[in-house]
Amino acid sequence: MPNKKNSEKIYKKARQVIVGGVSRNTVFRKPYPDYANAASGCFITDIEGTVRTDFANNMAALIHGHSFPPIVDAVIEQLKKGTAYTLASEIEVAFASHLIDRVESFERIRFVNSGTEAVMAMIKASRAYTGRAKIAKAEGSYHGTYDFAEVSQTANPSNWGDVDNPSSVPLAHGTPLSVSKDVIIYPYNDIERTLAILDKQNEQIACVIVDPVPHRVGLMRGNQEFVEALHNWTRKNGALLVFDEVVTFRVNHGGAQENYRVKPDLTSLGKIIGGGFPVGAVAGSAEVMKVFDPHEKNLLLPHSGTFSANPITMTAGYTAMQYFDEKAVLRLNALADKAIQQIREAIKIADVPVSVTGAGSMFRMHLRPDPPTTYREAYLSQEGKMLINELLDYMYYQENTLMINTFSCMLSTVMTQAEIDKLAEGIQRAFVALKPKIEKLNNL
């Protein structure tokens, strides 16, 4: 590892004032994290002067990479007018209109400040509309840091229970027992088991949450039949079908839901719709979204937020999404397809048991010869996690390439074939360097 005196110095100070020295574990590295100095396009320069190609894009949030000039210019103009007011702003209306025109299932929308907050609002809206308390979510799926959304996010062989009746496993120590009792866990893409699980508590379920391409489950697509089965079940049983598209909205011009014949009642959004600023939104049918409406005589879900729909985020997000038009989406997805082809070729040349999953402009590599189809297949042992970290470190230090910590990549529109070539070549070298360990893992 290269000498990083500046980073070490800052981290020593950080440990004295910030718990663990970081405010999000995502950026933590041993013995200490690197600190960014500047970023432009698809490159980040740290305070030591090292330039890296960024395939993480702030955990999939930066669809146009860093310092995208149209966003910078628009935000500077808004900064001169103010950053937040206890008044509404016109840009909120323009952005809402854009998103509603973009997605068939969106009739009304509300903006919040993060993906976690969007999922939280979506769950609360489902409960308010149905009068029911329980929710159903896929085993291993990540939906932010709300107590109910966290359940079984990191379930493992020691506690996940039988596949026919997966356990509801709390994430944080001290989570109230009542939380787990109100979260039903189903196995993703398994119609028969999932419907059997839901049927047992059909009159108590407010919503079934679906991430159309769940990153933590394995970044595999929800198949058409599975999503349709869930839709039909919710129609029959008076529950809502809700999509978490915080990550997957980048998959198509109208989100990953564009791939399905059925549409969700509600959708949570975040990440790319903020244009690089904190953002979240919940959108859906006018009928369900009425639970937020202050015009209603019986307001079911009072909702506000100091920085919700602040004009800086709305300006940046509106600009970002205007530039992420259908042409840009198709180009970026084609670039991702090319990247996957080249990585599969690298896997073949290195002769390692590795597979790739993904959709749209995102993909993930798995240390197994066949792509996983379930969370339990994608689950990594401690040895597997350590090996993934070694591969990530190789890419980071030897190839100057930053990836997401699941060995995944999220592309940005400023990337070109040159960056894809560099990525594939670097991954091939990483596979060759760590081939004995990859083979050993598969033989355990």
Longest dimension (CA), the chain: 67
Helices 417-433, 435-443: crossing angle, 10 deg rounding: 70
- The dihedral built from the CA positions of residue 122, 284, 224 and 328, taken in this order, carries a sign that is negative
Given 244, 263, 379, 394, the catalytic residue: 244
- The catalytically annotated residue of 182, 271, 318, 394 is 271
User: Where does residue 344 rank: exposed (0-12), middle (13-18), buried (19+ CB within 10 A)?
Assistant: middle
**Is there a catalytic annotation at residue 271?**
yes
Based on the residue annotation, tell me whether 396 is a catalytic residue of this protein: no
Which residue is catalytic, options 11, 142, 186, 375? 142
Q: Report the distance separating Cα 81 and Cα 335, nearest Å.
A: 38
Cβ contact 9:33 at 8 Å? no
Active-site residue flag, 244: yes
- Picking from 226, 316, 249, 233, the residue whose alpha carbon sits closest to that of residue 279 is 316
What is the distance between the terminal CA atoms of the chain, rounded to a whole angstrom?
29
The 8-class DSSP code of residue 229 comes to H
For 144, 266, 289, 308, 358, the CA distances from 114, given in Å and listed in that order, are 9, 16, 18, 9, 24
Which of helix, strand or coil describes residue 268? strand
Cα angle 398, 384, 171 (rounded to 5 degrees) comes to: 110
Q: Cis omega (within 30 of 0) on the bond before 31?
A: yes
In terms of Cβ atoms closer than 10 Å to its own Cβ (0-12, 13-18, 19+), residue 278 is middle
Buried b / exposed e across 176-198, counting CB within 10 Å, b at 16+? eeebbebbbbbbbbbbebbbebb
The set of catalytic residues is 142, 244, 271
